[in-house]
Structure 1
Amino acid sequence: MTKRSQAVITTAEERPRDGWNDPVHGSISWHTLLSGDITPTDSMSAGIAELAPGGELKPHRHDPSEIYFIFEGTGIVRIDGQETTVKAGTTVFIPGNAEHGIRNESSATLKFFYVFPTGSFADVVYRFPEN
């Protein structure tokens, strides 16, 4: 019998902070909120990401599509070469395998909620261009 997802109510403070700070990936931190390896969920994964002033998630690709919802700050999203300014209240849909990244050129922290249509965040394989 297949395990069924359960309701989950959580906060970023309850989840460990993870992140990257290197020339290949950029400088970004996140809290994974929902992922089948840490929560009893099976069809979506989601979290909250933060970019400090000057921070960036470098351009990359992954198979699943993704949604960003910006809830604090401003930044620049680049999708397949096209840059767009985003701010609190902006929703961004990123098609699967589209090259994309986001950067914070402001003096305040940029925070966004992200969602993948896959049961575990570990299933999302980030592919960065070779440097």
Structure 2
Amino acid sequence: MERSHEMRVVTHEQEIKIVTTLIDPAKVQWEDWREDVPARVKLLLSGGRTPSAELTLGMVSLEPGHSLPAHTHRQAEACIVLSGSGECEVDGTVSQLQAGQVVFIPGNAAHRISNTDEVQLVFLFAYAADSFDHVSHVFGAREADQADGHKLQALNDPALNNPDATPGTGMLPDLGSNDPNSQPSG
């Protein structure tokens, strides 16, 4: 399944061990990801399974008509479509996918990938994480993100979040003082 080669690099102050790992994806078995998610996964690089650090890489296979449920995770994700076609929805924006395309999904963005083809959709995924187990997938994320989006919009509203605002100017709520230079106590 894998071959590793170790080499040592000496810098000015320390010695660094670098391990190179060669993995043949054809020799890695497909696994069911989760009971409630209609996808099969091959973990190619993932701490605890292979020598790796700061990167998790795997493959997903979706049957025709199936979708990954909307979800989020803290890490950004990159996907490369290997075969088939489908759709990728990120924060409500839908893009068509086909073999050879690369998709970047920002961290914490609600997203889903769907197979709209008559053949399997297969894609590589990569996270900046030591292990697949360190990526916390939160399902049903679209509804949660929409609720949080209203909070985020309020936080980004200049009238409500202006560090230069002073009470009594209309930029911050007036807390009962007629003096624009007064500050609330507390």
Partner of 2:20 in structure 1? 7
Partner of 2:140 in structure 1? 129
Q: How does 1:15-26 map to 2 (within 5 A)?
A: 15-20=28-33, 25-26=36-37
Would the alpha carbon gap of residues 15 and 5 (structure 1) be closer, same or farther in structure 2, given more than 3 Å must change? Answer: farther
Aligned to 2:19, the other structure's residue is in SS state coil
Tell me which protein shows more strand as a share of its residues. Answer: 1
Aligned with 1:109 (options 117, 120, 126): 120
| Pairing 1:83–2:86 present | no
Uncovered stretches (5+) of structure 1, i.e. residues with no partner: none
Q: Distance in 2 between matches of 1:29 and 1:38?
A: 17
Partner of 1:71 in structure 2? 82
Aligned to 2:20, the other structure's residue is in SS state coil
Q: Distance in 1 between matches of 2:125 and 2:33?
A: 16
Deviation at 1:107, TM superposition (A): 0.4
Q: Distance in 2 between matches of 1:4 and 1:55?
A: 43
Give the TM-score of the pair, scaled to structure 2. 0.64
Aligned to 1:122, the other structure's residue is in SS state helix
Would the alpha carbon gap of residues 100 and 71 (structure 1) be closer, same or farther in structure 2, given more than 3 Å must change? Answer: same
Aligned to 1:57, the other structure's residue is in SS state coil
Q: Which has the larger radius of gyration?
A: 2
Tell me which protein shows more helix as a share of its residues. Answer: 2
| Pairing 1:42–2:53 present | yes
Equivalent pairs counted in the alignment come to 129
Q: Distance in 1 between matches of 2:68 and 2:45?
A: 20
Task: State percent identity of aligned pairs.
Answer: 29
Runs of 4+ residues over 3 Å off in structure 1: none
Q: Distance in 2 between matches of 1:21 and 1:31?
A: 13
Aligned to 1:63, the other structure's residue is in SS state coil
Would the alpha carbon gap of residues 61 and 4 (structure 1) be closer, same or farther in structure 2, given more than 3 Å must change? Answer: farther
Residue identity opposite 1:43 in structure 2? E
